Chain A
């Protein structure tokens, strides 16, 4: 079966630094994959390339058989790739509700009324209703994460890229996010989840990919990866061959 998202020999250099060293990865439709690795191992860089924010230095990314290198982030979003950011990118001077509407209104087929109804429904689940008309600048870090998660929910993406979505989020709402991620996944969406929160990764994902210094050092089911000496070494070792 052809992979939904295929990454082949992908590399990314920042000046002299090789953030990704020619990695191969493919994702089938409906997978729920955890992406882990120490700080600076290249996780966010990989997401940025898949999402069109960075150009790759080499290699290719293919979405449903179509090369997507060079497509803009907005085009990719419209092709069904939704993402959240490690450093949240909420629109601070817009209200929480307006933040939610931007993505929905990018679809010209949707009326403002319909978009608003949908947004209010999502905000309710995220316990942000009370803040709907406040500027997003008034949100806490955890609430900003939730808002970004909500903005992704508004898009109904078929591929969801989540970069540290749980940082600072209240446990109860984290459970809601778990449920939503599972629900998306059950409905056929492919999910790539980056998190340093191992409880979330191993609780949710059926496959875990580990990056270290721009290379994939492990890729398999959670149990195997958890016990992989290379993974333990990457996380615990204080030295690493450059």
Chain B
């Protein structure tokens, strides 16, 4: 294990004991939201960092997972777990569709197309107010009746850890190798018999399924969802989190999510300026430390070993 891996593992252990050492509820709440963003930032980096496809639909996919989970509960009377699964499946299928429809698009064209998909979805949810209550927001039953902040915190911690571990398992399998080969050179990968079309579509689906899961959990935690969770501003936060943590690694991106959410809360007085500040930081990171804080640390620590 490298030094950085040890540090990150220690942080996870620290996170697990936080509620026991008397951290105020307010900060537990903040960290719980941070863990939601950790899942989103890491699921985004699963796509962008490994297979090299860009998407600005991650917040929208979280929203899709959330609305499907909530509505299957309200309209069809499904229990929480099946409705969460429905959200995951819906987001995964939508991602598969985006992935398949954008197979031949790259760079700016791909990015713009995913923005279009995200906005169509957000506008649809806003407009269908008989079903979704539009921008007034939809009341959501709690994940567990009567559960307190500590319970939610642990559920989100477990969900984030398990999500990231599942992503790592996928990425360390041969499928992860195919993803990275496709990122490096599509024709070269195809020449070796790897079904590039299939894996490009499935990478989208995997990434959005995790986002849908995060969204469903989030809905049942905050218990009121609005279409703003699908906005480009939310997407901006996710992007900044992944970039600042380091989107070439799902673990780094996850930590970026938690750290930035904590900073967002700590800098509350700055209001809307925070997004601008994080945007600038993200741009500077891309220029000077493209692998993010943790990617930068990784190379620094490696160099010291030698």
Contacts and interface: CB of A to CB of B under 8 A. Distances in A.
Given A89-B185, A94-B180, A72 B197 contact: yes
A12 interface: no
Nearest to B198: A74
Interface string A66-93: 0000001111011000110100011111
Interface residues of A, number: 29
Interface string A17-43: 000000000000000000000000000
Interface string B221-256: 000000000000000000000000000000000000
Contacts of B193: 74, 77-78, 103, 106-107, 155
Please classify the interface of chain B as helix (H, G, I), strand (E, B), loop, or mixed, using the class held by over half of its residues. helix
Contact of B185 (A77, A91, A154): A91
A105 interface: yes
Nearest to A148: B188
B194 A102 contact: yes
Contacts of A56: none
A102 B189 contact: yes
A157 to B, nearest CB: 9
Interface string B190-219: 111111110000000000000000000000
A73 B191 contact: yes
Contacts of B189: 74, 91, 102
Given A91-B180, A98-B177, A85 B191 contact: yes
B117 to A, nearest CB: 25
A53 B187 contact: yes
Nearest to A53: B187
A112 interface: yes
B177 to A, nearest CB: 6
Nearest to B189: A102
B177 A90 contact: no
Nearest to B175: A105
A77 B180 CA distance: 19
Given A53-B187, A94-B184, 10 more contacts: A72-B190, A73-B196, A74-B192, A74-B194, A77-B192, A85-B187, A89-B185, A98-B181, A102-B178, A155-B192
6 contacts: A72-B190, A89-B191, A91-B189, A99-B181, A106-B178, A151-B192
